[in-house]
Structure 1
Amino acid sequence: MNSFERMAPDQIARLALAVCATAEAMGQSLSPDAAELIADDLADYPATVVSAALKSCRRGGGKLTTDSILQRVQAADGRPGKDEAWSIALASSDEFDTVVMTEEIQLALSAARPVLNAGDKVGARMAFISAYERLVVKARTEAKPIQWRVSVGFDPNRRIEAVNAAVQMQRVSHERGCLLLADLTREPITEDGRAVAGLLTGTPCQPSEKVRAKLDEIRVDLALKRQQKADAREAERCRVLAELDLRRTNLISQSAAIQSKEAARGR
């Protein structure tokens, strides 16, 4: 569903004139009806963004089409590229970090998390990028504006750094950043936070039932991964030994064949 306010009829009319003028500046001839159709297709986006896209088309040259304008309009929505989005998604796996991510990153990470939890980072990245690109295309087709969300981590210092960085990168407005910082710096340290920090400091503290279950799940997962690595090392050792044994057997066979030939010549 479109989250931008559609242009008013008089704005669409002015946009059609701007499209005609842009086409003429680029050496094209565009009928008023065609310009109105293009303007209607672009009316779901902010007028300032469309105006900037038309200016980019005039500077870039080529042929003016609805697609060429839309590509520039959509590229200006602020959504990260697939590689940057993946790095943001990976940062969110650290529960101490506060991460500012888009709705598409969050949803794509949910799709890739089972693969990531299984230890297949390459497969997880492929699954994430496939889902992320599909979600971004859908959002852009629906003219849905970007929405940055703050995922709060346990470390209070990293919270402040993450929000300040998001404000500087204009992912979060200055006003919203101030409100977030006020809430985050006012938030007390919970027993769960102390319990997680106690894993590093050695200071015992009882977490809630939910966090205790999560910690137990992490312990089991780590133990399973350690066992998998040990099994893989043992399998590799057995493979190498079997390969050496096969080579030794072949060498013995070759040596016996040579000796047999030499004995036959000596008769």
Structure 2
Amino acid sequence: MLTDAEQDQLVDMLASTAEVMGEKISPNAATYMVLDLATYPLRVLAEALTACRREVKGRLSLAAIMERIDDGHPAPNEAWAVAIRAADEAVTVVWTEQTRDAWTAALPLVEEGDKIAARQAFLEVYARLVKSARAVGGCAVYQPSLGHDASARAAALQLAVDAGRLAHEQAADHLALPPATPAFNPLALLAGRVEASPEANERTRKHLAEIAELFGPAQDAAA
């Protein structure tokens, strides 16, 4: 839901877009448009208004804006392609709530081995769920369904984060963290010397050099 400040900004965006398109929009009309659009992120609305300025011939209308809103819901066949991968329990998928629920409806047919009927059932349920979601407004919500293949799971979640479908916080607990790189050379330390590891940054190298100078006599004696 847009904040009050974002709604004020949207009013200005609507007025400016209408002006670019050769008309003026009344405050009352802009207010009603904002009420219908406030469930979408401002970034998504800005992109839709840009498309209107470039594509629409004639007056700016709510319908024209709504048609150009990318609400994140995948096309039915695209959603099915994601869902069918969930038949393999090793696979991690990142899907919308509507894809998940349509897959739940189709799963019994998949388990019976009738993928053709399963796909048809999925598409029918998915279309109905997306229509209901769009009637309420707002963008699609993505969530992970974790498979037991840990290495593939991390890759799938990171890809979803990079694509903006998941926030990093949603995936962080499941992502494999890279191994920590020591700032110092552990083999040299065992030999009584303080040395930076090859991966250490310049600041770390400087601090370790200062430490090495403090222990210079001890290191020389150990050598």
Superposed pair shares fold, TM > 0.5: yes
1:96 aligns with 2:90: yes
Kept in 1: contact 2:39–2:138 (CA 8 A): no
Query: Which residue matches 1:122?
Result: 116
Residues 12 and 161 (structure 1), Cα distance of their counterparts in 2 relative to 1, 3 Å cut: closer
Pick aligned residue for 1:66 from 62, 69, 90: 62
1:166 aligns with 2:160: yes
Q: Matches of 2:147 and 2:28 in 1, distance apart?
A: 54
User: Partner of 1:149: helix, strand, or coil?
Assistant: strand
Query: Which residue matches 2:47?
Result: 52
Pick aligned residue for 1:40 from 31, 35, 51: 35
More helix by share: 1
Kept in 2: contact 1:7–1:47 (CA 8 A): no
Kept in 1: contact 2:17–2:49 (CA 8 A): yes
Kept in 2: contact 1:7–1:46 (CA 8 A): no
Q: What one-letter code is carried by the residue in structure 1 that aligns with 2:31? A: E
Count the aligned residue pairs: 176
Query: Which residue matches 2:72?
Result: 78
Q: Matches of 2:138 and 2:9 in 1, distance apart?
A: 23
Q: Matches of 1:39 and 1:169 in 2, distance apart?
A: 28
Pick aligned residue for 2:144 from 150, 162, 170: 150
User: Partner of 1:45: helix, strand, or coil?
Assistant: coil
Query: Which residue matches 1:107?
Result: 101
Shift of 1:58: 0.4
Query: Which residue matches 1:248?
Result: none
Kept in 1: contact 2:154–2:176 (CA 8 A): no
TM-score, L = length of structure 1: 0.58
CA deviations 1:16-45 (Å, max 9, x no partner) are: 343233123223453332222222221232
User: Partner of 1:170: helix, strand, or coil?
Assistant: coil
Please report the RMSD computed on the Cα atoms of aligned residues, expressed in angstroms: 2.3
User: 5+ residue gaps in structure 2?
Assistant: 178-223
Kept in 1: contact 2:73–2:139 (CA 8 A): no
TM-score, L = length of structure 2: 0.68
User: Higher Cα Rg: structure 1 or 2?
Assistant: 1
